[in-house]
């Protein structure tokens, strides 16, 4: 089971867009195999860099409004939000070193 | 020191693991960090694997194979191989986390990776309408028009799957007939949502931030036309994943690893290969599983015939 907190259509504004922290949202679904594969890797990155980057999850089936607003057409999709804006998008499950390289600017 | 390390965790890798484990060789399976279970993890219903008359979900089948291998003592590591050193009596495997494992034999069963069309915009729009996995991304195309590119089994499976969501699925194929099996063809031809576009090649993918259409080229007349779709699913086959063994193992003209006759023996002693990575022709879950059996038995025989001097180098792993 993932340790990441769930955000929803109802809480996205307050917990992600209005946050004063850098937050990465993992857009996922139950039926998505690669999402399940990448989930423990995201947990590990979150645990190692908790002071720099918070990682939360959004289930695209339960929260279609937010998924549609951000034009999600492929999951897992990981979007980094800062000051209410998307500042980075990573698409697809990748090994930990590759994800860390993609996210380097937010983990340093 | 191990007796057997298996790289890959599809039907070939796990079946090799089952056989090697049952021969008390305590194999170590390097399963990959995000692609464990292989291609079948991205499929839905598997209807042609023997023993499942009602079909079985691809991911469920792979979990069962994994459990069967573990039951007999296979150990599974969820990491990626970054380096292989295959010459010499002892094979060295370096993982993404820096761990190095050594073994007297290595079974290489890494399968194949989806082929791309080779268009610049295909890569740029990957994840923004361009996809290689209908089961992963199909649900985002509800009431949309999409195109599937290809003419084999996977193209027709993807097209049929996408009709659950999309209003219209174009099947774009560069020839005038399909390679796919008759059962899949019959199903697709009968589906009112699927329209076949024959003798058409994809020349362009259009869209700034996401796909808005694709440009098709008629292979007979050279005429170009635009197809208004918001999704393009590429299913034009796969290439054997051999980058880790380039320069070490002999490859065939098709790019697969060369093996001796019907065996799994590669150009290096103690290194065996199985599954799609040696198979340019059949590429089925059941043939890959059979190929995994061959590799495990070949490895077992090789170990049994090793000289005492070589075996002395190997310290048995405590069980």
Q: What pLDDT sits at residue A88?
A: 96
- Determine how β-strand B168-172 pairs with β-strand B145-149: parallel
- The span from the CA of A94 to the CA of B152, in Å, is 27
Reduced to 3 states, what is the DSSP secondary structure of residue B247?
Answer: coil
Q: Is B208 on the interface with A (CB under 8 A)?
A: no
Stretch A65-82: mean pLDDT, rounded?
A: 95
Burial per residue of A6-38, b for 16 or more beta-carbon CB atoms within 10 angstroms, e otherwise: ebeeeebeebbeebeebbbbbbbbebbbbbbbb
- The span from the CA of B224 to the CA of B220, in Å, is 11
Q: Which residue of chain A comes nearest to B140, CA vs CA? A: A73
Q: Would the CB atoms of A93 and B42 count as touching at under 8 Å?
A: no
Q: Would the CB atoms of A71 and B128 count as touching at under 8 Å?
A: yes
Reduced to 3 states, what is the DSSP secondary structure of residue B95?
Answer: strand
CA count, 13 A, side-chain hemisphere, B131 = 34
Q: What pLDDT sits at residue B42?
A: 83
How close A84 comes to chain B (CA, Å)?
20
Q: Would the CB atoms of B96 and A34 count as touching at under 8 Å?
A: no
Q: What pLDDT sits at residue B43?
A: 82
- Cα Dmax for chain A: 33
Q: What pLDDT sits at residue B318?
A: 46
Q: What pLDDT sits at residue B314?
A: 64
Q: Is A46 on the interface with B (CB under 8 A)?
A: no
The DSSP string of B223-241 is -EEEE--SEEEE-S-EEE-
A97 flagged as catalytic: no
Q: State the Cα angle at A73 between A96 and A33, rounded to 5°.
A: 45
Q: What pLDDT sits at residue B229?
A: 98
| Chain A residues closer than 8 Å to B209 by CB | 71
| Chain A residues closer than 8 Å to B38 by CB | none
Q: Cβ distance A61 to A67 under 8 Å? A: no
Among residues A4, A23, A25, A35, which one is catalytic? A35
Confidence grade of residue A85 (pLDDT, cut at 50, 70, 90): very high
> Quick one: how far is CA A70 from the chain centroid?
12
Peptide bond into A76 cis (omega under 30): yes
Tell me the average confidence (pLDDT) per consecutive run of 10 residues in chain B, 319 residues long. 97 98 98 93 88 94 96 96 96 96 98 94 94 90 97 94 97 96 96 98 96 97 96 95 97 97 98 97 95 98 90 59
Q: What pLDDT sits at residue B315?
A: 56
What is the count of residue pairs from A and B with beta carbons less than 8 Å apart? 67
Place of tokens 């291609």: B39
- Which residues of B belong to the active site? 133, 136-137
């Amino acid at each position: 089971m993932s340790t990441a907190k769930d955000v929803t259509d109802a809480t996205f504004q307050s917990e992600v867009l209005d946050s004063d922290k850098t937050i990465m949202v993992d857009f996922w679904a139950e039926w998505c195999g690669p999402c399940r594969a990448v989930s423990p890797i995201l947990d590990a990155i979150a645990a190692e860099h908790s002071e720099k980057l918070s990682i939360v999850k959004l289930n695209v089936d339960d929260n279609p409004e937010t998924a549609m607003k951000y034009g999600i057409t492929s999951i897992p999709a990981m979007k980094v939000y800062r000051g209410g804006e998307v500042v980075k998008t990573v698409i697809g499950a990748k090994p930990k070193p590759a994800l860390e390289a993609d996210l380097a600017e937010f983990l340093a | 020191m191990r007796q057997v390390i298996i790289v890959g965790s599809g039907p070939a890798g796990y079946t090799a693991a089952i056989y090697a484990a049952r021969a008390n060789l305590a194999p170590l399976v390097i399963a990959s960090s995000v692609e464990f279970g292989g291609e079948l993890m991205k499929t839905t219903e598997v209807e042609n694997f023997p023993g499942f008359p009602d079909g079985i979900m691809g991911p469920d089948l792979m979990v069962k194979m994994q459990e069967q291998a573990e039951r007999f003592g296979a150990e599974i590591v969820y990491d990626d191989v970054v380096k292989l050193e295959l010459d010499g009596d002892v094979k060295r495997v370096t993982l993404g986390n820096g761990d190095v494992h050594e073994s007297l034999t290595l079974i290489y069963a890494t399968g194949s990776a989806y082929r791309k069309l080779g268009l610049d915009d295909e890569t740029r729009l990957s994840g923004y309408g361009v996809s290689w996995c209908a089961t992963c991304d199909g649900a985002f195309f509800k009431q949309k028009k999409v195109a599937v590119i290809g003419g084999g089994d996977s193209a027709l499976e993807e097209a049929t799957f996408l009709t659950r969501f999309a209003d219209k699925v174009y099947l774009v194929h560069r020839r005038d007939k399909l390679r796919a099996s008759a059962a899949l063809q019959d199903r697709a031809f009968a589906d009112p949502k699927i329209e076949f576009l024959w003798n058409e090649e994809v020349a362009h993918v259009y869209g700034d931030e996401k796909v808005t259409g694709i440009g098709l080229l008629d292979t007979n007349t050279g005429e170009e036309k635009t197809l208004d779709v918001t999704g393009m699913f590429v299913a034009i086959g796969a290439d054997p994943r051999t980058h880790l063994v380039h320069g070490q193992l002999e490859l065939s003209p098709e790019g697969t690893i060369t093996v001796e006759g019907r065996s799994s023996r590669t150009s290096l002693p103690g290194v065996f290969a199985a599954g799609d990575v040696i198979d340019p022709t059949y590429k089925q879950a059941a043939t890959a599983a059979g190929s995994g059996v061959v590799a495990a038995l070949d490895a077992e025989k090789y170990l049994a015939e090793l000289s005492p001097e070589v075996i002395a180098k190997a310290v048995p792993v405590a069980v």
